[in-house]
Amino acid sequence: MTRSELVTELAATLGASHEARFIVQEVLGSSPPISTSPVEAADVQVARSLAARRGAGEPLQYLLGHWAFRTVDLLVDPRVLIPRPETEQVVEVALQEVRLLNVANPTVVDAGTGSGAIALAMATELTRQYPTGQVWATDASADALEVATANLDRVRVQHNSMVLPVTFVQGSWLHPLPSQLKGSIDVIVSNPPYVDASEWAGLPPDVRCEPRSALVAAPGSDGTPGLGDIEAVLTQAWTWLSRPGAVVIELAPHQADHAIAMARDIGYGEVRVEPDLSDRPRAFVGQVA
Ligand SMILES: C[S@@+](CC[C@H](N)C(=O)[O-])C[C@H]1O[C@@H](n2cnc3c(N)ncnc32)[C@H](O)[C@@H]1O
């Protein structure tokens, strides 16, 4: 069997040719991708078994074991959320906020880091302009922090050590950060859980392979479904941010107006929600002067 015949067979099994190509590339490597080259029988078996697991509902990204996020390629497994394209856009907004502040050595915090996606993308993308900056990242999950720590080593290799220092700490939102950072964080960015518990059963089966604790949040104090963790980050960020400073939080479109009202009540000056690539409200920004 040739490489292209294997892709065709798996595409028919999966009903998705791009997924078949990802699987074949993972098993055979990408170079040289000669479509007529014969494939070893053992490799055919491995590719077929990955396709069978995908067909049974496992997320493609967990099967491959890694996934690209902006400038970094991250290890992913069922201990962490699979980084999403919407979050890549949230990072773009957070980078803009860092640049707007115009400080020489910014301190950035990623609250609820999971695989380390936001922290590690920002640490690589800020390093040229701000070589003396620093990144901190928190998560309540020790399992997630194991993956994030492995990803820091991986990203250092991918980027020839052109990565700002990143420190991971375990605990709830901003609480585990050292107290000397209080009042001196330039930008806090977070993609907290924001799905209401009532939505969990209706999510696609592959999404339900991801950690429930990474997706589901309690209602906000105003009763808005899934807003509880966003509210916690907004409230805590108020005391940890430097003046000026900014918090950037990913949310679901239906939560945007509620988050804006909540932020105004807390005291944030400028508040807005930037759209994602599908033009839906996605990245909440709250600035403090
Ligand atoms: C939606 S995932 C985001 C993961 C990653 N930042 C990303 O964008 O791919 C939310 C993350 O928040 C973490 N988390 C949930 N509750 C938390 C809490 N109280 N404090 C800190 N992290 C929490 C979860 O373990 C999970 O890793």
| Among protein residues, the one whose CA lies closest to atom 24 of ligand 1 | 214
- The per-residue pLDDT for range 84-142, each reduced to its tens digit, is 999 999 999 999 999 999 999 999 999 999 999 999 999 999 999 999 999 999 999 99
Q: Are 287 and 245 in contact (CB under 8 A)?
A: yes
pLDDT of 32 reads 61
- The per-residue pLDDT for range 190-229, each reduced to its tens digit, is 999 999 999 999 999 999 999 999 999 999 999 999 999 9
Task: Kindly report the three-state secondary structure assignment for every residue of the chain.
Answer: CEHHHHHHHHHHHHCCHHHHHHHHHHHHCCCCCCCCCECCHHHHHHHHHHHHHHHCCCCHHHHHCEEEECCEEEECCCCCCCCCHHHHHHHHHHHHHHHHHCCCCCEEEEECCCCCHHHHHHHHHCCCCCCCCEEEEEECCHHHHHHHHHHHHHHHHHCCCCCCCEEEEECCCCCCCCHHHCCCEEEEEECCCCEEHHHHHHCCCCHHHCCHHHHEECCCCCCCCCCHHHHHHHHHHHHHEEEEEEEEEECCHHHHHHHHHHHHHHCCCCEEEEECCCCCEEEEEEEEC
Q: Are 121 and 166 in contact (CB under 8 A)?
A: no
- Spacing, Cα 144 to ligand 1 middle (Å): 8
pTM of the model: 0.96
DSSP bridge partners of 273: 284
DSSP bridge partners of 110: 137, 189
> Where is pLDDT greater, at 285 or 162?
285
Q: Is the pLDDT of residue 255 over 80?
A: yes
DSSP bridge partners of 216: 195
pLDDT of 101 reads 97
- The per-residue pLDDT for range 25-79, each reduced to its tens digit, is 999 997 666 677 889 999 999 999 999 999 999 999 999 999 999 999 999 999 9
- The per-residue pLDDT for range 162-182, each reduced to its tens digit, is 899 999 999 999 999 999 999
The preferred substitution site among 115, 189, 213, 282 for testing ligand 1, maximizing ligand atoms within 8 Å of CB, is 213
In terms of Cβ atoms closer than 10 Å to its own Cβ (0-12, 13-18, 19+), residue 37 is exposed
Pocket of ligand 1 (CB under 6 A): 81, 83, 87, 112-115, 117-118, 138-141, 144, 172-173, 191-193, 213-214, 229
pLDDT of 98 reads 98
CA–CA dist 216, 70 (Å, integer):
25
* φ, ψ dihedrals at 270, nearest 5°: -85, 125
- Spacing, Cα 173 to ligand 1 middle (Å): 8
**Cβ contacts of 34-42, under 8 Å, gap ≥ 24:** 34/3, 35/2, 35/3, 35/4, 35/7, 36/2, 36/3, 36/4, 37/2, 37/3, 38/1, 38/2, 39/1, 39/2, 39/3, 39/6
pLDDT of 33 reads 61
In terms of Cβ atoms closer than 10 Å to its own Cβ (0-12, 13-18, 19+), residue 71 is middle
Structure tokens at 254: 């239906």
pLDDT of 16 reads 87
pLDDT band per the 50, 70, 90 thresholds, residue 152:
very high
Nearest atom (ligand 1) to Cα of 172: 20
Nearest atom (ligand 1) to Cα of 194: 1
